[in-house]
Structure 1
Amino acid sequence: MPISMKEMVGGCCVCSDERGWAENPLVYCDGQGCNVAVHQACYGIVQVPTGPWFCRKCESQERAARVKCELCQQKDGALKRTDSGGWCHVVCALFIPEAWFANVQTMEPIVLKNLPQERFNKICYVCEEKDRASKASTGACMQCNKNGCKQYFHVTCAQAQGLLCEEAGNYGDNVKYCGYCDYHYKKLVS
Structure 2
Amino acid sequence: VGLCGPGGEAHLRPPGDQGDLMGAPKGVCGGGDGTGNLPFVENPCVKGNGKSVCNVCFQSEGEDAEVLMRCVECGLAVHQQCYGKPAGGEDWGASFTCRACEWGARSAACPLCPVQGGALKPAGIGGWCHIVCAMYLPETGFADADRLEPITGVGEVSKDRKRIKCSVCKTVKGAVVQCDSTGCKASWHPLCGMEAGWYMSMSEGDEDEVRMVVRCPKHPVEEEEEEADDPDALYCVCQSKYVEGQVMIGCETCDGWFHPGCVGVAEEDAE
TM over 0.5: yes
- SS of match in other structure, 1:184: coil
Correspondent of 1:43 among 71, 78, 83: 83
Equivalents in 1 of 2:211, 2:100: separation in Å?
27
Structure 1 residues 18, 176: CA separation in 2 closer, same or farther (over 3 Å shift)? same
- Higher RCO structure (Cα 8 Å, ≥6 apart): 2
Correspondent of 1:72 among 93, 113, 137: 113
Aligned counterpart, 1:185: 220
Deviation at 1:119, TM superposition (A): 1.1
What are the superposed Cα offsets for residues 99-142 of structure 1, whole Å, 9 maximum, x if unpaired? Answer: 100111111010113211111111111113xxxxxxx1111111
Q: Which has the larger radius of gyration?
A: 2
Structure 1 residues 38, 10: CA separation in 2 closer, same or farther (over 3 Å shift)? same
- SS of match in other structure, 1:127: coil
Q: Retained in 2: the 8 A contact 1:164–1:177?
A: no
2:130 is the alignment partner of 1:95: no
Normalised by the length of structure 2, the TM-score is 0.57
Deviation at 1:167, TM superposition (A): 4.6
2:172 is the alignment partner of 1:137: yes
Structure 1 residues 188, 81: CA separation in 2 closer, same or farther (over 3 Å shift)? farther
Aligned counterpart, 1:126: 168
Q: Retained in 2: the 8 A contact 1:14–1:78?
A: yes
Greater helix share, structure number = 1
Residue identity over aligned pairs, in percent, reads 34
2:230 is the alignment partner of 1:156: no
Normalised by the length of structure 1, the TM-score is 0.79
Correspondent of 2:61 among 19, 29, 35: 19
2:117 is the alignment partner of 1:53: no
Equivalents in 2 of 1:63, 1:50: separation in Å?
20
- SS of match in other structure, 1:93: helix
Aligned counterpart, 2:124: 83
Structure 1 residues 24, 109: CA separation in 2 closer, same or farther (over 3 Å shift)? same
| Structure 2: segments with no counterpart, 5+ residues | 1-45, 227-271
Deviates more, 1:20-29 or 1:145-154: 20-29
Deviation at 1:52, TM superposition (A): 1.9
Structure 1 residues 51, 173: CA separation in 2 closer, same or farther (over 3 Å shift)? same
Equivalents in 1 of 2:110, 2:159: separation in Å?
16
Equivalents in 2 of 1:84, 1:127: separation in Å?
26
Structure 1 residues 119, 11: CA separation in 2 closer, same or farther (over 3 Å shift)? same
Aligned counterpart, 2:156: 114
Structure 1 residues 83, 59: CA separation in 2 closer, same or farther (over 3 Å shift)? same
The one-letter amino acid paired with 1:178 is V
Between the two proteins, the alignment pairs up a number of residues equal to 173
Deviates more, 1:161-170 or 1:180-189: 180-189
Deviates more, 1:98-107 or 1:159-168: 159-168
Deviates more, 1:136-145 or 1:180-189: 180-189
The one-letter amino acid paired with 2:71 is C
Structure 1 residues 11, 175: CA separation in 2 closer, same or farther (over 3 Å shift)? farther
Deviates more, 1:175-184 or 1:148-157: 175-184
| Structure 1: segments with no counterpart, 5+ residues | 1-6, 129-135
